[in-house]
Chain A
Amino acid sequence: MAEPIVLRHRTLPGLDRLTAYRENGGYQAFEKAVRSQAPEAVIQLVKDSGLRGRGGAGFPTGVKWSFLTPGVFPRYVVANADESEPGTFKDREIMERNPFQFLEGVAICAYAAQANVAYVYCRGEFWDLTGELDRKIAELERAGLLGERLFGTDYSLRIHTHLGAGAYICGEETALLESLEGKLGQPRLRPPFPAAEGLYGKPTVVNNVETLANLPPILERGADWYRSVGTKQSPGTKVFSLSGHVERPGNVELPLGTTFRELIFEHGGGIPGGKAIKAILPAGASAPILPAADDVLDSGMDYESLAALGSALGSASIIVLDETVNIAWAESKITDFFEHESCGKCTPCREGTYWMKHILGRLMGGEARSEDIGLLESVGSGIRGKCLCALGDFAALAVTSGIERFGTDFEIHAVNGR
């Protein structure tokens, strides 16, 4: 396996202690940046590294930062730690086991953005983890690595945690900002994007935990080194959260572009009970399902390859389904999730997920009507492209891609129904 960049605690035990983190080079990158590098130079370095957002969208991180409106202050940095995508559990491991690398990444991002305050927005269920982060932040303040006039310069930085309260939609960056402002977590109309008008209407960077944790090694070792890992268009490693029907579920950090086959059969130990693999959800609930044919299994896991397959890499939460799974059932579980998590702001999503849930409920309950599959497709097309954020699209695509690629799994229920 390649050398870990983000999950360094796997090879360096005790990395969750500040002394151990510093003994392994921790906080040298942040100190060097604050003492001797211009914020613009840090942004350029991150641009050159090709790092792309690890929360799902895969947008180039340095480019996102460069959109901050010039000359407008204060600015804010927000770490998106609202990890809630079914099948995703990577940010939690990073924050629990390698917290200082994550917090140094937040600090580097804040310096590059010239923000003096950063927030870590944690999902409410991460109650214990958030308490631990608070203690780590206090430790950093005592060590002079956070606070006023850092390293004898004029730069000051405070980091605060903010606990959510149970709402998947707050992982969407504008909904997160609304929630952080004390309002309902509902997405905003864009533009303006957060880089222009984010938290409290000020220029704001919102980055995922894994994205931020990549920053200290990038600053330390340079853009060329980072680009030597992964593919040309998707440089670096990715933490793949592997779950479902595999012998060894868990997080695996691999270069972007590694094949599904290597992840599932080598690192995951294959399918339990000698069963055949049937399908892959490459981005949790939020990307079209893929039949596990050879061309898919031998495809690289990177942003471009997944798009070419008619799906998406998203946050790289790979859910494996074996031959015993009926895909209509799997999609009905996913639809239940989206119906529950729809924030209710956009009518097509709010109503559409509700209808799809009930039609799929009929299908699964043996009470299908002959027109139900067509009805599902019709409701799906009524949602797609008609909402402020991607949740509605994801919900619709889950069902329509399931019907398109595993039609017989749906027809079985429709035929058996009355």
Chain B
Amino acid sequence: MALAEKHRAEIQAILAKYPPEHKRSAVMGLLYLAQREYGYLDRQAITEVGDLLNLEPTEVGSLIGFYTLYHDRPGPTYRLQVCTDLPCALRGAEHFARELRRSLGVAGNEPPTDGEFVIEEVKCLAACDRVPVFQLQEPEGIHYYESQTIETALAVVEEIRGRTANG
């Protein structure tokens, strides 16, 4: 029960949002916590979260495939996700995503450029007036980068690579 011991206060704070008889509601918050701790949600993480809520591993596990922000296998630490949905595409986001990949020497939809980092395309981020926009998914959370240029995006990538090299 690594999570239960290591993050007791945070787990209590998540559980306290919901009526005690409906603590299943805390599952999404606890999955985020487990993902932050372990990097992704494997059987062990799922079982730990289930034990905190008296849920079967299958009940917890089914959520991971359904919600796109949970990851069930080891992956890059940083996901730079460019929105290329219709409103963004009309303002050049597909071109931006291609150019960004080219600048980084990544072909097509090929996944990670290195073990720590990947560029992906995602659906609408609710930022259609500040195109190009991407979100950065990282262990500590999700952050928006709006009204980007190739130069500013490359600076973000460099900053990430600096972090992973030092870390």
A residues sitting closer than 8 Å to B (CB atoms) are 83-89, 91-92, 119, 123-128, 131, 160, 162-168, 179-185, 200, 241-245, 249-251, 281, 284-285, 317, 319, 321, 325, 330, 333-334, 337, 340-341, 343
Judge whether B68 and A167 touch: CB under 8 Å. yes
Q: With A243-B129, A337-B123, A337-B124 known to touch, is A163 a contact of B32 (CB < 8 Å)?
A: yes
Judge whether B91 and A244 touch: CB under 8 Å. yes
Which residues from chain B contact A162 at a C-beta distance below 8 Å?
A: 17, 25, 28-29
Report the Cα distance A182→B18, complex, angstroms: 11
Judge whether B90 and A244 touch: CB under 8 Å. yes
Judge whether B129 and A86 touch: CB under 8 Å. no
Which residues from chain A contact B29 at a C-beta distance below 8 Å?
A: 162-163
Q: Residues of B within 8 Å of A, CB-based: how many? A: 40
* CB-CB nearest in chain A for B24: A182
Report the Cα distance A340→B86, complex, angstroms: 14
- The listed residue (B26, B55, B123) touching A168 by CB distance below 8 A is B123
Which residues from chain B contact A166 at a C-beta distance below 8 Å?
A: 67-70
Which residues from chain B contact A165 at a C-beta distance below 8 Å?
A: 28, 31-32, 63, 67-70
Q: With A89-B129, A242-B129, A251-B129 known to touch, is A128 a contact of B87 (CB < 8 Å)?
A: no
Which residues from chain B contact A184 at a C-beta distance below 8 Å?
A: 62-63, 66
Judge whether B123 and A340 touch: CB under 8 Å. yes
Judge whether B129 and A124 touch: CB under 8 Å. no
Judge whether A333 and B85 touch: CB under 8 Å. yes
B3 at the A interface (CB under 8 A)? no
Which residues from chain A contact B131 at a C-beta distance below 8 Å?
A: 249
B89 at the A interface (CB under 8 A)? yes
Judge whether A128 and B31 touch: CB under 8 Å. no
* CB-CB nearest in chain A for B28: A165
B160 at the A interface (CB under 8 A)? no
* CB-CB nearest in chain A for B143: A128
Q: With A124-B69, A160-B17 known to touch, is A241 a contact of B85 (CB < 8 Å)?
A: no
Q: How far is the CB of B132 from chain A (nearest CB, A)?
A: 13
Scoring B66, B125, B126, B141 by chain A CB atoms within 10 A of each residue's CB, the highest score goes to B126
Judge whether B86 and A337 touch: CB under 8 Å. yes
What string of 1s and 0s marks CB contacts (under 8 Å) between B112-135 and chain A? Answer: 000000000001111111010001
Report the Cα distance A181→B59, complex, angstroms: 12
Judge whether B129 and A241 touch: CB under 8 Å. yes
Judge whether B141 and A128 touch: CB under 8 Å. yes
Which residues from chain A contact B144 at a C-beta distance below 8 Å?
A: 125, 128
Judge whether B128 and A179 touch: CB under 8 Å. no
* CB-CB nearest in chain B for A331: B86
Q: How far is the CB of B158 from chain A (nearest CB, A)?
A: 22
| In the complex, the 6 A-B pairs of residues with the closest C-beta atoms, listed nearest first | A166-B68, A165-B67, A182-B24, A243-B128, A127-B142, A249-B129
19 further interface pairs, Cβ-Cβ under 8 Å (given A92-B127, A165-B68, A244-B86): A84-B124, A88-B124, A125-B144, A127-B141, A162-B25, A162-B29, A165-B67, A182-B24, A182-B25, A182-B26, A184-B62, A184-B66, A185-B67, A243-B90, A244-B90, A249-B128, A325-B90, A337-B123, A337-B124
CB proximity to A under 8 Å, residues B83-105: 85-87, 89-91
Which residues from chain B contact A119 at a C-beta distance below 8 Å?
A: 17
Judge whether B28 and A182 touch: CB under 8 Å. yes
Q: How far is the CB of A333 from chain B (nearest CB, A)?
A: 4
- The listed residue (A84, A168, A249, A330) touching B86 by CB distance below 8 A is A330
Judge whether B90 and A334 touch: CB under 8 Å. no
B167 at the A interface (CB under 8 A)? no
